[in-house]
Structure 1
Amino acid sequence: MKLYWKYVLILFKSQLQYRTSFWLLTIGQFFIPFSLLAGVYFLFERFGQLKGWSFYEVALIFAVIHMAYSISECFARGFDSFSSLVRTGDFDRLLVRPRSTVIQVLGSKFEFTRFGRLVQSIFVLVLAINGLTIEWSVLKAVTLVLMITSGVFIFTGIFILAATLSFWTIQGMEVANIFTDGGREMAQYPLNIYHKWIFRFFTFVIPFGCVNYFPLLYVLGKTEGSGLTYMLTSLAGVLFLVPCLFVWRFGVRHYRSTGS
């Protein structure tokens, strides 16, 4: 991890060489999600509620998912652009270095301008919390943090799976956007508003439901009996990353150089 943070520092300094561009992009990232939030707001302005969910409850989900996505997109961007390393043959250089390929790919690219989107998500989070009457406790605060952390792991795992496809396809697979951008759009609403097969898929295969639904029920006080089980479901995001890393190792073992 010491090497990883050196990567972070080096790339942060390099991006600050063009400060005006950096800050303009950061500000732009701050305002982009407002159009999405506006769509959510006008939906509730028209219909009042969505299958029993209020605007502020959905705004809380919106904030959690977009915070997780912006953090993952910032620090796991190396996997999102990994196909270029395979196509140019630059991945060969990573293989001969005495460090984990995961750390090296993670450290190959960072998008610090995504902090603009993170700040906007924090703004929405504060707005949602102020609009809700939640009886806060230490466990509920920890659950909220775990929801965001779990979301980061899930999005990072999807980026890793998409990058692994590049070992066989060379080019990046646009189908992965269904589960990154599409997953973000879908997960900004509670899962129980969707069809049952969607609910099951995004609970047991890609566990977004363990970020934006089950632990949220505990935070909002909508559970019956002990809420500990609902709280612990947020750890599924961490578990999701484990098989993604095994798939990555499988891909690395079957990598064949492009010869560039």
Structure 2
Amino acid sequence: MNALALYGRYIITSLRAQAQYPTATLMLTAGHCAATSIEILCVFALFHRFGSVGGWSFGEAALFYALVNIMFSLADLLSRGFEVFGTDFVRTGAFDRVLLRPRAAALQLAGYEVRLSRLGRLIQASIVLVFATNLVPITWDARAVAIALWAVAGGIGLFMGIMVLQATLAFWTVDSLEIMNVLSYGGVQAAQYPLNIYAAWFRRVLTFGLPLACVAYYPVLAILRRPDPLGAPDWLLPLAPIAGFAFLALSFVVWRTGMARYASTGS
């Protein structure tokens, strides 16, 4: 069985387990959808108060919001094992069993649990995407759709990379540190707004440190066919999401370093 087929089996097993409690799953999904809806209301309140922010309208900001949250919801859906790695694997010693199996540890963790409740954020973000399309004159031709899908793929890679780094810290700290939520959930909040509204030092962080701008800001500019007010060349805009995959690759390099340091709890 190749890796992709095995990962599919992991997903099917997880979905079957949650299907045993359909009402609870639906309630959790609906609750997650309702809870995340508050975020877009906050964005609307900001633009309703000031009209425009940094030369951007609410409809354009809603497009940022929708794409970023679609990326994050899919990454969160597919990387549950890395999120709970410290508590469920390192602290309990269960990671020993993972290492004894003849498959990559990262593959097993990625397929550990696929939480359907995380579809709530995905549904809500998809609704906002439709809403933003009605507010902003976007031509969803083949080019725009391709850029959007490419950006989402790069964003999934970026957010999964953040979760891999969070899990890697547990090799040294035993438990995953909550400070990593600053990069994951905080990153979602930062990427929901155009890059040019931030200070110069923070723009550099979001471009070269944690390349959220590369998977959100630049692709949205390409979709809107709008020149970058910060001066980035037009040819760079649709290529920028490749930074998300590069970040994921670097995260796995750090992950392998952490695995080499792992020592069982002996439990």
Normalised-by-shorter TM-score class? over 0.9
From 63, 79, 83, the counterpart of 1:80: 83
Contact 1:143 1:234 in 2 (8 A): no
Amino acid at match of 1:37: I
Which residue pairs with 1:178 in the alignment?
A: 182
1:103 aligns with 2:95: no
Rounded to whole Å, the distance in 2 between the matches of 1:143 and 1:14 is 35
Alpha-carbon RMSD: 1.4
Q: Deviations over 1:156-191 (max 9, x none)?
A: 000000100000100110110100111111111112
How far off its partner does 1:140 sit? 1.9
Which residue pairs with 2:97 in the alignment?
A: 93
SS of structure 1 residue aligned to 2:188: helix
Which residue pairs with 1:144 in the alignment?
A: 148
How far off its partner does 1:255 sit? 0.6
How far off its partner does 1:113 sit? 1.0
Percent identity, aligned pairs only, is 39
From 223, 240, 243, the counterpart of 2:250: 243
Rounded to whole Å, the distance in 2 between the matches of 1:165 and 1:104 is 18
1:259 aligns with 2:262: no
SS of structure 1 residue aligned to 2:241: helix
From 169, 176, 185, the counterpart of 1:165: 169
Amino acid at match of 1:67: I
SS of structure 2 residue aligned to 1:238: helix
Which residue pairs with 1:46 in the alignment?
A: 49
How far off its partner does 1:226 sit? 7.0
Rounded to whole Å, the distance in 2 between the matches of 1:134 and 1:124 is 14
SS of structure 1 residue aligned to 2:60: helix
How far off its partner does 1:42 sit? 1.2
SS of structure 2 residue aligned to 1:22: helix
Rounded to whole Å, the distance in 2 between the matches of 1:149 and 1:135 is 21
Rounded to whole Å, the distance in 1 between the matches of 2:252 and 2:149 is 23
Amino acid at match of 1:240: F
Gaps of 5+ in 2: none
Amino acid at match of 1:229: L
Contact 1:191 1:212 in 2 (8 A): no
Rounded to whole Å, the distance in 2 between the matches of 1:204 and 1:50 is 24
Which residue pairs with 1:230 in the alignment?
A: 237
Rounded to whole Å, the distance in 2 between the matches of 1:223 and 1:35 is 31
How far off its partner does 1:134 sit? 2.5
From 65, 70, 75, the counterpart of 1:67: 70
How far off its partner does 1:228 sit? 3.1
Which residue pairs with 2:23 in the alignment?
A: 20
How far off its partner does 1:246 sit? 0.7
Contact 1:77 1:106 in 2 (8 A): yes
Amino acid at match of 1:243: L
Greater shift in the superposed pair: 28-37 or 157-166: 28-37
Paired residues for 1:180-219 under 5 Å: 180-219=184-223
How far off its partner does 1:227 sit? 3.2
How far off its partner does 1:135 sit? 3.7
Rounded to whole Å, the distance in 2 between the matches of 1:244 and 1:184 is 18
